[in-house]
Structure 1
Amino acid sequence: MINSIPKNHRQELRQFYRQQRKQLTAEKQQSAAQMCLQVFLQNIDLTHIKTVAYYLANDGELDPQAMIQFCWQHNIQVLLPVLDPKRKGHLVFVNYQASSPMQTNIYGIAEPIASEQNIVELADIDLIFTPLVAFDIKGNRLGMGGGYYDRTLAPIRQKQLKTQLIGLAHDCQKSEKLPIDGWDIPLNAITTPTQFFKIA
């Protein structure tokens, strides 16, 4: 944990926590992914869950691939975020299957090719698992700094949608307290390989 950085120095926080997760070995990353699946299954009631959004891991992020495979096996629709071709700085969520045609975005991250037929509206998504650089136990999330998730997910709070937001993170990404701004979208819960933090 790091607690001595001034509130406005988000970039230093990002650098610190990105370095923490990048130091994890491939074996630790794989183990963390499997453990996170178990924590997810023990703490989330999937009875009424039909549609879940994940992401493809990058830059040392916790890999949700095991969770994606579980959803496919249990007929839960899986979505991935795609850079919105019509609104700069926003994301759309697109249906994702093992056979989905993929492309590489400007950040070098693979994403399904979006079309009018495979984009799912925010209000129709039950759970969105978000990547993050750091989190605290109040549900605050520090992202990579592009603001894509905050802009895209703002309607959840504005329109009081049922969509639940869950952060996925390694244990080393937990912060005592993160600086927050008015546009930051808080999480409903955070899943790590060893803990599930439910935010009141």
Structure 2
Amino acid sequence: MEVTPRELKKTLRQEALARRDALDPRWRIEASLSFANWVEALAPPAGTAVSGFWPMRSEVDVRPLMEALRKRGARLCLPAILDRETIVFREFLPDAPLVDMGFGTKGLDASAAVLEPDLMLVPLAAFDRRGHRIGYGAGYYDRAIARLKANGHARRLVGIAFDCQEVPQVPDEPHDVIIPEILTESGLRRFPPAG
């Protein structure tokens, strides 16, 4: 019986997340702090909307990188889940109250302004050396990126992961969004465009 791309992605996701979960928590903190060292390589023009994310479980904690981007003039935003299909990105101001977004993450309530980010720090479960990513399975980011690109936004996508989340090859599916850059603790990787 042939394994479908969806089934293979599920297996690769589980294996990559198990490797990430097994990382020493203290090492994860130190590695997460080092991501802020890449602010110069990522720094967009002042005033650019940059989406980050509030870390859940054993994810890279991008908050130090987000703060470094804020100091460089970026307008930060976090994803907010509207329904089972849609996320928007709400402006994340210093001292803004956070609310539970489900899935173990936090975001901003409806009183925060909605921004359309041009630089997106994209969470992922696994990736390959072509820039193909496996998300957490709900498709929120694939749909959000497609919507933002159609509106002329999301011009730069940077996946955020630890090296241990790399897999040999992510199965290709038509709806997948390729991430041209992935930032890990060992540096910023850039992938050539497909084709």
TM-score with structure 1 setting the length: 0.85
Shift of 1:157: 4.7
- Could you say if the C-alpha distance between residues 74 and 160 of structure 1 is closer, same or farther in structure 2, counting changes exceeding 3 Å? closer
- 1:140 corresponds to which residue? 132
User: How far does the alpha carbon of each residue in 1:114-133 deviate from its partner, in whole angstroms, 9 at most, with x for none?
Assistant: 23x60113xxx220001100
Residue identity (%): 24
- 1:50 corresponds to which residue? 48
RMSD value, Cα: 2.1
SS of the equivalent of 1:150 reads helix
- Could you say if the C-alpha distance between residues 42 and 32 of structure 1 is closer, same or farther in structure 2, counting changes exceeding 3 Å? same
Amino acid in structure 2 at the alignment position of 1:141 = R
Match of 1:108 among 104, 111, 125: 104
Match of 2:61 among 51, 63, 78: 63
SS of the equivalent of 1:151 reads helix
The answer (yes or no) to whether the contact 2:79–2:89 under 8 Å persists in 1 is yes
Task: Structure 2: give runs of 5+ residues left out of the alignment.
Answer: none
SS of the equivalent of 1:179 reads coil
- 2:113 corresponds to which residue? 118
- 2:76 corresponds to which residue? 78
- Could you say if the C-alpha distance between residues 74 and 42 of structure 1 is closer, same or farther in structure 2, counting changes exceeding 3 Å? closer
RCO comparison, higher one (Cα < 8 Å, 6+): 1
- 1:15 corresponds to which residue? 14
SS of the equivalent of 1:9 reads helix
Task: Structure 1: give runs of 5+ residues left out of the alignment.
Answer: none
- Could you say if the C-alpha distance between residues 6 and 128 of structure 1 is closer, same or farther in structure 2, counting changes exceeding 3 Å? same
SS of the equivalent of 2:102 reads coil
User: How far does the alpha carbon of each residue in 1:41-81 deviate from its partner, in whole angstroms, 9 at most, with x for none?
Assistant: 35335346622110011121111011111123233111000
Amino acid in structure 1 at the alignment position of 2:57 = D
The alignment covers a number of residue pairs equal to 189
Deviates more, 1:44-53 or 1:67-76: 44-53
SS of the equivalent of 1:186 reads coil
